[in-house]
């Protein structure tokens, strides 16, 4: 009896569109973001999956994506657990800044290091490693046990909180994960063996839309 874990990055947010560092700030989905979430939900409906529980972050863009996906698979009333452990990486002093303005202020190389290094946090914020340090324990104590009981679990969250999970699930090094971008609204379906290792992974859509 193996369980299934589905990861979905939220659809485009208003601040994605404006090229702003978002982090723990709470902008809503754009019209395109809603369309992306609907596309992900339709892909999962076509895949034929029904969920036992859903998890999402404390941020509206992930919560709305979660709700839209569940609506598309005909499970609008499903138990949905919200926890800030699944929130996006905290960008600290960069939050709310335009990425081009940040490059002007700190220099392109420094901003690139903050965005793409594994363990260098921006001022007042989190690195990818810091993000993983809160995502992984929550996954191990709350999400994984349900998957191992044979349940089908949906997690709708964010680019970096999900990248920290993908790093573990796909057994990527800290160098390899830096090259991984997750497309908005594209579900990744993991099936598990009884010993908690990954048996298979299906990506339901085009990952080339990642940014």
Span 150-185, pLDDT tens digits: 999 999 999 999 999 999 999 999 999 999 999 999
Calculate mean pLDDT across residues 182-194: 96
> Which residues make beta-bridge pairs with 191?
4, 200
Longest dimension (CA), the chain: 54
User: Does residue 10 carry a catalytic annotation?
Assistant: yes
Q: Name the percent of the chain lying above pLDDT 70.
A: 97
Dist CA 45 CA 189 (whole Å): 13
Tell me the average pLDDT of the chain: 95
Q: Is the Cβ–Cβ distance between 162 and 131 less than 8 Å?
A: no
- For 1, other C-beta atoms within 10 Å of its C-beta total 8
Give me the catalytic one of 10, 36, 126, 158.
Answer: 10
Q: Mean pLDDT, to the nearest integer, of 43-55?
A: 97
Q: What does CATH list as the number for 4-91+129-209?
A: 3.40.50.1240
Of 57-66, 170-179, 198-207, minimum mean pLDDT range: 198-207
Active-site residue (options: 71, 79, 88, 112): 88
The residue-averaged pLDDT of 45-54 equals 97
pLDDT tens-digit series, residues 97-108: 999 999 999 999
Query: What local confidence, expressed as pLDDT, does residue 210 receive?
Result: 47
Q: Is 79 one of the catalytic residues? A: no
> Residue 156 has what pLDDT?
98
Say whether 13 sits in a helix, a strand or coil. Answer: strand
Helices (H), 53-123: 60-72, 99-106, 108-116
Q: Terminal CA-to-CA distance of the chain, rounded, Å?
A: 36
Taking Cα atoms as reference points, which of 140, 183, 135 lies closest to residue 159?
Answer: 183
Per the CB < 8 A criterion, the answer to whether 28 and 13 are in contact is: yes
Domain map (residue ranges) of the chain? 4-91+129-209
pLDDT of residue 15: 96
């Amino acid at each position: 009896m193996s369980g299934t874990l589905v990861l979905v990055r939220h659809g485009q947010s208003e601040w994605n569109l404006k090229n702003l560092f978002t982090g723990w700030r709470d902008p809503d989905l754009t019209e395109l973001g809603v369309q992306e979430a609907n596309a992900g939900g339709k892909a999962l409906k076509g895949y034929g999956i029904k969920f036992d529980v859903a998890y999402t972050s404390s941020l509206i863009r992930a919560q709305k994506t979660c709700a839209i996906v569940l609506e598309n698979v005909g499970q609008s009333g499903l138990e949905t657990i919200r926890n800030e452990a699944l929130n996006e990486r905290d960008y600290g002093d960069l939050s709310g800044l335009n990425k081009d303005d940040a490059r002007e202020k700190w220099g392109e190389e420094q901003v690139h290091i903050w965005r793409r290094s594994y363990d260098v946090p921006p001022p007042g914020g989190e690195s990818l490693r810091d993000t993983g340090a809160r995502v992984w324990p929550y996954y191990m104590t709350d999400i994984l046990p349900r998957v191992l009981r044979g349940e089908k679990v949906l997690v709708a969250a964010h680019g970096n909180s999900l990248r920290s999970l993908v790093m573990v699930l796909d057994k990527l090094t800290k160098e390899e994960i830096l090259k991984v971008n997750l497309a908005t609204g594209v579900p990744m379906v993991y099936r598990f063996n009884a010993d908690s290792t990954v048996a298979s992974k299906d990506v339901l859509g085009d990952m080339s839309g990642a940014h």
